[in-house]
Structure 1
Amino acid sequence: MEIANTSSPGVFVLLGFSSRPSLEPILFFLVLGFYVVSVLGNGMIILVSCVEVHLHTPMYFFLANLSFLDISFTTSVVPQLLVNLWGPQKTISYGGCVVQFYISHWLGATECVLLAVMSCDRYAAICRPLHYTVIMHPRLCLSLAFVSWLGGLTTSMVGSTLTMLLPLCGNNRIDHFFCEMPLIMQLACVDTSFNEVEMYVASFIFVVLPLGLILVSYGHIAHAVLKIRSAEGRRKAFNTCSSHVAVVALFYGSIIFMYLQPAKSNSHEQGKFIALFYTVVTPMLNPLIYTLRNKDMKKGLRHLVLEKCCGFAGTWGHI
């Protein structure tokens, strides 16, 4: 019984930004602001995509999935982060930590696949415009979204379960602001070679391969756009893809920058701020990118707001 208690701590200590206590109050209000904007912005995209009939297309179906994923991911991390930033206590329960790394692993893998699916949708729209509605029919879109979510869940169940089974021997201090699978592996007091191999294989399948598919898709798209003779046609094709390209650049850019850092003493601290960027800032920027650069989304949002305002005015008039 003592071994069990030693292997599985009751709580984990999330050191987070405790080495910079003067920075924590500032980060608290910044993170809170970003989180509110992220939830409202992504929630707005889901609402507009569902309510506006002219947005019932594959592009906005996948965008609504991405927005729901961003809300779920930030919600799994931010509330606990705010609690730790606000007070002196930096702990999270064992169960809460397990839930965090299951969900973060699941949603991270799902987003990689979903972004690749969205790039294929843009490829079909630009390179196969005459067959687009036949290729991207509703049943295929549902299947692709289902595969994205199921694939992410499967790799999370395998990798996170293997990590959870590792004996920690009382080690419970995590030098980060949330529970992540590689960080839990570092606490193990046994050889983790098998877990590391599984993690590298899963990373190749769910990170490298989707990125390769995205690059191939946009290589074909760039070739097709360059063949368009009219400047207006090229501009329209570019606008169709620019929002997705920006989101992909933000997502993969932060990941690549974090894992290609030199092994310096301050690299881990820098890694925390990069993780904070893709955990809090990127989900907030995604809806801004899609609403500011997308005429259909702005039109749908304007129509929804005017409809609600007119409905409210009509109701007020009757009163």
Structure 2
Amino acid sequence: MQQRRIGPFSVSAIGLGCMNLSHAYGVPPPAEEGERLLLRALDLGVTLFDTAALYGFGANETLVGRALKPHRDRFTLASKGGMAGVKGEDGVTRRVIDGRPETIRRNCVDSLQRLGVEVIDLYYLHRLDMQVPIEETVGAMADLVRQGKVKTLGLSEVSAATLRRAHAVHPIAALQTEYSLWTRNPEIAALQACRELGVAFVAFSPVGRGFLAGGLADVSTLDAKDIRRSMPRFSPENYARNLQLFDGLKRIAQSLGATPAQLSLAWLLAQGEDIVPIPGTTSVAHLEEDLGAVNVSLDADVMRDLDALINPRTVAGGRYNAATQREIDTEEF
């Protein structure tokens, strides 16, 4: 497996986003299947595993910890705080964004316990709390580094301006944001800021929440609790238009002897040595397919064809609905 750098860590060029195993896309697989996939990823050379307090309201960290703790010295562990499940007076657990220092400290301690480890290698702020200055939140995260609870810091879904403010308080090792052929927002300013500051870029949803892998022909089949149901790109009208783009992607992939998912990941890898995609999956077969992207080489003509085919002008629909978009600090087209 090829290697890339995140702060002091050398990690596999393609990591694993663990969210799918517990959260967001309908009924998660049984725990034993999730553990099997995590261990298979490790055996295939994946050395970056990304989880969060939010995923399954703690269940994902528990799963990752249980499966991978015996192999702790073989991988870089990333998790996130500042957005977690909070039980209301009605007994229902809901997602809450909270960047107050006391919450960040509590989130980290809870994550350490669920993961069953003494230190988290890369600890992200999952979402910017618009009510709390980023300097206060990152200041609390820096305290966690000094206390030995985490080794390095990251931010998720923030703008270039917020990244710069945070980096002035404490070095930021990684910025994690959605980036793929059909989500180019980081190209507005975040990627450039990362390169100026020496911050690695971790790309989540690198195969477009499954779209760029071709695994979803009919959005009406999505589970009732699948988060894609609320995303404009997956509305029936927009998705029908976007499927026309997939046909072209499939043709280019076939010409290279690759799958659409591999082609999409190879495109990301070709954007720079500082980019680490973290696709997620519940399927060992899809995991093995994704990792094959490191063997796909793209020349300038293919890169140009892909950019012309799938870009902000050709994709129908935004990536989030209006309510969710208001919670996101990233630059938007």
Band of TM-score, shorter chain = under 0.3
Q: Which protein has greater RCO, CA pairs closer than 8 Å, 6+ apart? A: 1
Q: Which has the higher strand share?
A: 2
Q: TM-score, normalised by structure 1?
A: 0.26
Q: Which has the higher helix share?
A: 1
Q: TM-score, normalised by structure 2?
A: 0.25
